[in-house]
Amino acid sequence: MSNVPVAVVTGSNKGIGFAIVRALCKQFPGDVYLTARDPGRGQEAVAKLQEEGLRALFHQLDIDDLQSIRALRDFLKEKYGGLNVLVNNAGIAFKVHDTTPFAVQAEVTLKTNFFGTRNVCTELLPLLKPYGRVVNVSSMVSSSALGNCSRELQQKFRSDAITEDELVELMTKFVEDTKKSVHEKEGWPNTAYGVSKIGVTVLSRIQARMLNEKRKGDHILLNACCPGWVRTDMAGPHATKSPDEGAETPVYLALLPSDADGPQGQFVSNKTVRTW
Ligand code: NAP
């Protein structure tokens, strides 16, 4: 078994995830895994970094596929005896003018952004070594979507006592409500991406609370963040930040020094803790 520290970035064959791997290759003292659902696209990305003189390793990971997540978990357990850094970056967004019915958009978006990310956490967080760092890439859209929820939903999502099961129930209810076309009446905003990222931010708050309760002495730090508005296939060419600039906050959180006792369970953008 290797004692080398290990970092994993989900959805890192392109966009912000790729830039996060690039930065970690330069700054993380250990093995960095670029992961992708498609091995061809993943290997191509690794080769691109190699041309830049950077060494990333590859492992397949489709966060929609529990078997794929578990295969990565078993690999990490066997080869490294755990995990030091996890960046949950993989995500999807329908384009604004996409005509796919809203209920379908809601189901598909929540499946990857919330349920897929949660499944990765369920399988990989138990592997975290002391001083581990976890970064869940959310979005500022989670904050604006929260502001457009009913008072009752806002209270639930801001609660310091909400459980993971309750959050899963709420995310499931959103999808069901869109199918019945009652989501607005039930207090939801009209954005599937926004609700999925509310889920990611609230999940991060819950998970950090659980780490504080169950693994207090292990100094693990877990946060959600927004990378900013970044020029990728998701956000398009008019966004303000380059992918490398978008990677800055996630990388800052992934590399918080071992003597840091925060941020913990926060929503961070531009390296600054934001009020949730
Ligand atoms: P992107 O260029 O579209 O890249 C998304 C990455 O996620 C791709 O590598 C994609 O792989 C991967 N992915 C999607 N579904 C996956 C799955 N089921 N399993 C594994 N990988 C999967 O988007 P981006 O802009 O870099 O976004 C990265 C993250 O930042 C997302 O979580 C996004 O919501 C968030 N974000 C972006 C912005 C922005 O302005 N760009 C702003 C706020 C937050 P494929 O190539 O196989 O599709």
Q: What is the pLDDT of residues 223-276, one digit of tens each?
A: 999 999 999 999 999 999 999 999 999 999 999 999 999 999 999 999 999 999
DSSP 216: G
Q: From ligand 1's centre to the CA of 152, what distance in Å?
A: 31
Residue whose CA lies nearest to ligand 1 atom number 11: 11
pLDDT score of 12 more than 90: yes
Residue whose CA lies nearest to ligand 1 atom number 21: 11
pLDDT score of 31 more than 90: yes
User: Beta partners for 226?
Assistant: 269
Using 50, 70 and 90 to split pLDDT, how confident is the model at 1? confident
Span 6-274: which CATH code? 3.40.50.720
Would you name the residues annotated as active-site residues? 193
Pick from 18, 142, 234 the residue to mutate for probing ligand 1's pocket: most ligand atoms within 8 Å of its CB.
Answer: 234
Pick from 10, 14, 63, 248 the residue to mutate for probing ligand 1's pocket: most ligand atoms within 8 Å of its CB.
Answer: 14
Q: What is the pLDDT of residues 99-139, one digit of tens each?
A: 999 999 999 999 999 999 999 999 999 999 999 999 999 99
Q: What is the pLDDT of residues 167-217, one digit of tens each?
A: 999 999 999 999 999 999 999 999 999 999 999 999 999 999 999 999 999
Answer whether 20 contacts ligand 1 (Cβ < 6 A).
no
Check if the beta carbon of residue 36 is closer than 8 Å to that of residue 13. Answer: yes
DSSP sequence for the chain: ---S-EEEESS-SSHHHHHHHHHHHHH-SSEEEEEESSHHHHHHHHHHHHHTT---EEEE--TT-HHHHHHHHHHHHHHHSSEEEEEE-------TT--S-HHHHHHHHHIIIIIIHHHHHHHHGGGEEEEEEEEEE--HHHHHHHHTS-HHHHHHHH-SS--HHHHHHHHHHHHHHHHTT-TTTTT--S-HHHHHHHHHHHHHHHHHHHHHHH-GGG--EEEEEE--SB-STTT-TT-SB-HHHHTHHHHHHHT--TT-----S-EEETTEEE--
The pLDDT value given to residue 2: 86
Model confidence, pTM: 0.99
- List CB contacts of 164: < 8 A, sequence separation 6 or more: 118, 203, 206, 207, 210
